């Protein structure tokens, strides 16, 4: 059964093909995905690799976790299921005071 691995600490320039090639040394790679930032279109520095078997996944963890890849130290472990996130219906969901605390009036410190 295929096992999905989380791969963190990737150089931002890493491509999915480079990720796939690196993990192919541990076995058959079913998929390799780099997570991209929606706004900038740049890599977020992490991704996921799916290995064909549990044994190959463990071999990939042993081979890459804590090791240097392109000048950065990788974190490789079994991926956890994605958690359900609350939906905000497309609106602004942040709270807090965004006004800076001004309530009007003469704040210049001048004479009255």
Q: Taking the domains of the chain in order of start, what are their residue ranges?
A: 3-78
Distant-in-sequence, close-in-space partners of 4: CB < 8 Å, separation ≥ 6: 48, 49, 50, 78, 79
Residue 10 contacts residue 19 (beta carbons within 8 Å): yes
Select the more confidently predicted residue: 89 or 61: 61
pLDDT at residue 100 in the model: 53
pTM attached to this predicted model:
0.72
pLDDT at residue 90 in the model: 58
pLDDT at residue 65 in the model: 98
pLDDT at residue 53 in the model: 96
Structure confidence by residue, pLDDT tens digits, 67-105: 999 999 999 999 988 777 676 665 555 555 555 555 455
The per-residue pLDDT of the chain, averaged, comes to 85
The torsion angles phi and psi of 21, rounded to 5 degrees, stand at: -60, -40
The domain 3-78 is classified under which CATH number: 3.40.50.80, 3.30.200.20, 3.30.70.330, 3.30.1120.10? 3.30.70.330
Task: Find the Cα–Cα–Cα–Cα dihedral 6, 10, 14, 15, rounded to 10°.
Answer: 10
pLDDT at residue 47 in the model: 97
């Amino acid at each position: 059964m295929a096992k999905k691995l989380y791969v963190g600490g990737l150089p931002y320039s890493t491509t999915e093909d480079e990720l796939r090639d690196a993990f192919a040394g541990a076995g058959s790679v079913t998929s390799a995905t780099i997570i991209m930032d929606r706004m900038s279109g740049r890599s977020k520095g992490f991704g996921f690799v799916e290995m064909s078997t549990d044994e190959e996944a463990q071999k990939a963890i042993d081979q890459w976790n804590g090791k240097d890849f392109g000048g950065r130290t990788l974190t490789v472990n079994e991926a956890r299921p994605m958690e359900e996130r609350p939906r905000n219906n497309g609106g602004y969901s942040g709270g807090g005071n965004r006004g800076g605390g001004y309530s009007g009036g003469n704040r210049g410190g001048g004479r009255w």
